[in-house]
A and B are shown apart, each in its own frame.
Chain A
Amino acid sequence: MKKNITLLFCFLANLAVQAQTDFPLQFVDKEGQVIPDGTVLDITDVEIDELFGDIQMPVNVWVKNVSTQKVQGGGVYSIQSISNGWLQTCFPVNCMRRSNTGSYSTESSAFAPGQSTSLQTEWLPNEEGVCVVTYQLQTYAKKAGNSKWTADADGPTITLKYKYVSEANGISTLKSDVECKVYDLSGRIVDSKIKNQKSKFGKGLYIINGKKVIR
């Protein structure tokens, strides 16, 4: 009996996995490779946006219509943890910024066969901390007698685990050469360019592009 239940469970689990594999919308990486359902990505790379002066942690995740049919799609996402700052998502048609935990949904948009659209999500921390968010893709349909699109099927999920620990503390690294002035608390410029690796100033509280950063 126990064996039968185990087999039944395996069969149902396999059906669920099969269903997600067959789902018309899939998360893909920048090479277009499908990211398996339920994947958890750890993100520690940090960029400093020289335009707006933000610390940002972008992710290269795309959503692709892998079917041969036009699909109306969107998604839901759940922020399980956000220590500080904003989680930004610009998918598929609008941009949203959230600073609180909770469950949210996106608007929907039409995906042509083979079309890829960037998830355009990033965490913009103000200081060290974590942010955990799970996205789930959905397809939409118009119910009889209703002209509005409503979600009708759930697809694959991806969980993004952001962790921002300043470079000096050893985890997050600045991805690119970014021109920006770094001041100490007395207003003295201590660095004008941050390289990929360790900067030449030590631990402490600094002002980088108008924001306080602990290093």
Chain B
Amino acid sequence: MNKIYLSLILLLLTACSYIGEEERLIYVKPEPAERIVLLEDFTGQRCVNCPKGTEVIEQLQETFGDNVIAVGIHGGPLGFAGNARYEGLATDAGNQYYSHWGFDYQPIGLVNRHGAVNYTDWAATVREELSKPAPLSLDVEALLHEGQINITVTANGTDGVVEGKLQVWLLEDAITALQLMPDGTANTSYIHNHVLRAPVNGLWGEDFTVAEGKQKTIQQTFQPDAAWNTQHLSVVAFVYNNNGVQQAAKAKVTEQ
């Protein structure tokens, strides 16, 4: 009887076939991330045609909702830095970005940083970008606590290894400020939305890498200018490299 049991055990052991190390685990690829498109609008308060660009953005946001993140970057020769009577929205960062990209006119935009796009072509370009897969997902949280904004960016790699830069910007909505209009008149009560106030982590961001299936968390702290309305602030984070913007995310700044 013992011989029979022993034979059965030996049979079970010898019946196991060899499974290669690479075949022992079944890898499940992460779900593809939803593409969020970044539209950088290079604009200026002296630019009479720039409100036309803003109209295009409003239509895009109506159509695509949160899948399009617009940022109004005031600067260049038609930007306005302000005077004793009127607030200017141009920033040093805006001027440096404008110069860096070598633009010639305004309004002009970057859609996921694939080269200059005239505002008349933004809609078609955004549609094309939305159809592309994203290699990572991004999530942003921005909490205001004792005058400081604590920002947490969480990235999840979903396809290959993404290397590049992580850029974090602070934006403000609903700013009432001067704007020249397409008919040549000046509107001192124009509402400016998604205005770039400041880069949080330097003009060109910080080094960033995330691998497929891995998660990465980055934290930043930023003190907003006292003149900015903290109820209208939001944070935009995006990862970019030589192949353009890989993914973007936006979150409103909320009280902790």
Contact = CB atoms under 8 A, between A and B. Distances in A.
Contacts of B178: 51
Nearest to A96: B105
Contact of B77 (A51, A93, A97, A118): A97
Nearest to B76: A97
Sort chain A's interface into a size bin: 10 to 19
A118 B83 CA distance: 28
Interface residues of B, number: 26
A96 B184 contact: no
A107 B83 contact: no
Given A93-B52, A95-B78, A118-B184, A210 B83 contact: yes
B49 A209 contact: no
A53 B106 contact: no
Contact of A53 (B77, B83, B186): B83
Given A51-B178, A95-B48, A97-B77, A120 B184 contact: yes
Contacts of A51: 85-86, 178, 186, 188
A104 to B, nearest CB: 8
B182 to A, nearest CB: 8
Interface in B111-139: 118-120
Given A53-B83, A95-B105, A107-B105, A90 B77 contact: no
A18 interface: no
A142 B120 CA distance: 16
B108 interface: yes
Given A51-B86, A52-B83, A94 B107 contact: yes
Interface in A64-90: 86, 88, 90
Contacts of B83: 52-53, 209-210
A213 to B, nearest CB: 16
A94 B184 contact: no
A97 B80 CA distance: 13
Contact of A90 (B49, B80, B104, B119): B49
Contact of A86 (B52, B77, B106, B184): B77
Contacts of B48: 90, 95, 120
B106 A94 contact: yes
A53 B82 CA distance: 10
Interface string B12-56: 000000000000000000000000000000001011111010000
Contacts of B188: 51
Interface in A27-86: 51-53, 86
A109 B120 CA distance: 9
Given A52-B46, A95-B47, A95-B78, 13 more contacts: A51-B85, A51-B186, A52-B80, A52-B86, A88-B78, A94-B119, A95-B46, A95-B105, A97-B77, A109-B120, A120-B48, A120-B184, A210-B84
16 contacts: A51-B86, A52-B46, A86-B77, A90-B47, A93-B120, A94-B49, A95-B46, A95-B47, A95-B48, A95-B49, A95-B106, A107-B105, A109-B120, A120-B184, A210-B83, A210-B84
Interface of B: 44, 46-50, 52, 77-78, 80, 83-86, 104-108, 118-120, 178, 184, 186, 188
